Amino acid sequence: MLFPKTHANSRTIRSVISALFVCFWAFGTVSGQEYKSQEISEGSGIPVLIMHLPEWETAKDRAILTNELAKTVAVVGAQPILTKIELLPGGEAAAADYPAGKLLLIEHPSPQAASAADQAVLATGGEFIYRRIGNYSAFVFDVNDAAAANALLDQIKYEKTVQWLGEDPFLLQKIERYIAMTGADVAVSTVLFIGVVVGLALILGIIAGIVYFRFRENQRAGQAAFSDAGGLTRINLDELSEPLRLDPN
């Protein structure tokens, strides 16, 4: 059956409108969804970055996870340093409020990105406590107690293994650090070894000297008289030798 041309055009227009409506609806649904981490724990289903927060069991309920630093303002506030850091695709951030301050943990997708962020933070500075931990940039804002804030950062561990596809750009620094640490250990061990050997030598020498002195004293005590003439006749000026007995015959 053949339809009129106007009817075919009407169906085409309706199909296009329906397709556009479905696209806009899908886009609106996806954009409105909460951000889902790219790395989820297989055991608990919790994002790995959230599990790396201090006391994450209780912090996970109040923490936020996002791939846009601008969305962390709701927790940490409008911090100027956030405008100096670039969060590349593949990176994400978690923020939570603690008694010691407001913690922001940023995971960069590569060591190069983490190094660039580290240089930017160190060059800018600010009123916060900062530490680079692996590929993490960890901040504590609105610090109430510096010691407590540092203790909070001490609980963060970067447990991922970084593998370079090419040559390690930090290989020279690692070798220098290894040589320095090994040289220091060798120097300390050498000094301790020499000290122990010298100490043992002194102790053994003192013991041997005392034993020999006692032995010679006992030998002297058993002698009737002492003479350094080797048995020859000598002038007895010190009266240590026995007087000569003249044979009357």
Residue 47 near residue 96 (C-beta atoms within 8 A) = no
What's the confidence (pLDDT) of residue 5?
Answer: 45
Output the six-digit token pair for 228.
Answer: 């350094």
φ, ψ (nearest 5 deg) of residue 109: -75, -10
Residue 120: which residues within 8 A CB-CB, separation 6 or more? 84, 85
Could you give the 3-state DSSP secondary structure of residue 97? strand
Rounded to whole angstroms, the Cα distance separating 178 from 215 reads 54
Q: If we measure between CA atoms, which residue out of 38, 39, 155 comes closest to residue 96?
A: 155
Tens-place pLDDT, residues 223-239:
655 555 555 666 666 66
Torsion of CA 9, 13, 14, 18, to 10 degrees: 150
Q: Which long-range contacts (CB under 8 A, 24 or more apart) does 36-39 make?
A: 37/65, 37/92, 38/90, 38/92
Residue 33 reports pLDDT greater than 60: no
Tens-place pLDDT, residues 199-223:
999 999 999 999 999 888 887 776 6
Tens-place pLDDT, residues 47-58:
889 988 999 999
Residue 240 reports pLDDT greater than 60: no
- pLDDT category at 10 given cuts 50, 70, 90 is low
Residue 124 reports pLDDT greater than 50: yes
What's the confidence (pLDDT) of residue 155?
Answer: 92
Q: How far is CA 244 from the centre of its chain?
A: 88
- pLDDT category at 177 given cuts 50, 70, 90 is confident
CB-count exposure of residue 117 (10 Å: 0-12, 13-18, 19+): buried
